[in-house]
Structure 1
Amino acid sequence: MIALTGANGQLGRLVIDHLNKAGAAGIRALVRSPEKAQDLSGPTVSVVEADYDRPETLAPALAGVDRLLLISGSEIGQRARQHKAVIDAAKKAGVSFIAYTSILNADKSPMILAKEHRETEAALKASGIPHVLLRNGWYLENYAGTVAAALEHGAVAGSAGTGKIAAAGRSDYAEAAAAVLAGNDTSTRTYELAGSSAFTLADLAGEISAQTGRKIPFNNLPADVYAGILVQAGLPQAFADILADSDMAAAGGALYSDSKDLEGLIGHPSETLKGFVQVQVG
């Protein structure tokens, strides 16, 4: 039995799709609110309640599970604690293998976001359960709002300077997770999952320009100025600060790797910047 947390999220749903394509027979979708995820139910998929903040729901949800995909939670600041609750429950339930969606270069990344991933990686090591660290790079989809803002305001804004970003599509990362879960190798290992090609934010601006026929520059800004723009756009201050911090870290290479682990797992190049922008500009 394969189970995955956060199954009702964007990544979780794509992992289930890829597992079904791979012919996985038993999939358990762990969700906080089963009534909101009934469309996931099917011949190969069962939906079960599993709430990070209600540990009493975790052990029953993991009963009989052999392999677990722990998709990192969305509540920044609470994730290490929540992930530890899942890992503890998995150990009690006898789960024999866990895959965890971490972040690219987690062990050395200066990003604020990397801290909870490192703490979760440490908890997995301490558990003694064989596990795989799926250190996902940035999602191309993270730039959907950037493209929309560029089309509206005529510029790409950010603080990443000339830093290269090895991003890939969400579906690429989902396919990699499904390949690990459905594969034969259950040894402990780490994958640095980077996109097949990297780009700078200036490259992103250039691609938008090329596809729209407009001159869209990249404006590299101090992190506090960029965070202020994000707040003006409607983001909470704390989240805006995290995104600005991530951009600053990208300037130093935190979101870049030349690893081919992602291509190796999925068997093809990841989604391109050109293809992503094409979809966004319509």
Structure 2
Amino acid sequence: MLNCLMVTVLTPTYNRVNTLPKLVDSLCRQTRTDFQWLVIDDGSTDDTEAYMETLKQQNLPFEWEYHKKENGGKHTALNAAHPYIKGDVVLILDSDDYLTPDAVETVEREWPCYRNRPDLCGMSYFRGKEDGTHLSVANPADFYVADHLHYRVNQGIRGDHCEIVRADLFKKYPFPVYPNERFMAESWLWNTMALNYKTVYRNKTIYICEYLEGGLTKSGRALRMKSPLGMMDDCRSYLNDEVCLKVRVKEMLLYWVYARCAGYSFAKALSTSGRPVGMTLTAIPGWMLYFYWKKKYLK
């Protein structure tokens, strides 16, 4: 007999009214409908609010809520969701993506096997493309248990995953928010939780998205440089002894870039990094990278 589990599918959205119908259709096609769909509108200026109003007439087969806030970036929308979450676990579904028909059923069937383990923060499934391929390498075993830092960060396992995170931990670690900054890397959350919790990794795709090859776009790098305080927090989440030296050095270089973007002095950058020795050794190449990126991305 299938165990019942309330899942909150959380969708932060901003000016994506054209893609929301496909997302809603995927939710209506779920083989289990005992879940909450929570939409946090980050100040959309298109017809998102009007579209959400039309859904009230459609008798959707699942519980849903819509809340609109002032624009502040995706991370602020995720934080704003905290008071409205009803599920035991949260699945973040971006507004231009959608779920496979068995996504909720899969989580509700599998998470109860692990929900009583206090050392686990959630589960991680594959994100895939419409052609059936997924965006990351297969895990060493199905239902593989490991922490994010040792498994994915230290081994360089890239590719977007669909993470299912315990609601209590999602609320326990709100994203840092700084005035006038519109971006915060979600990796901060997974890195922070990995210091105390492990994840169950599954070789199964439940989330479909468009995937652009080539890594960070020019606009993406500029956005990060315009949100330096948040990105410094993200860099610090890698600067601990659980992370391999290669990654720590990379993040120290990035820390110098963002510290310069924030107007930090040499001394302030050192004192706030938590790694003064390593930061001293990476200061010159870090500052050179800052001037190169400033010319390239912040014209």
Give your verdict on TM over 0.5. Answer: no
TM-score, scaled relative to structure 2: 0.28
TM-score, scaled relative to structure 1: 0.30
Q: 1 or 2, which has the higher helix percentage? A: 1
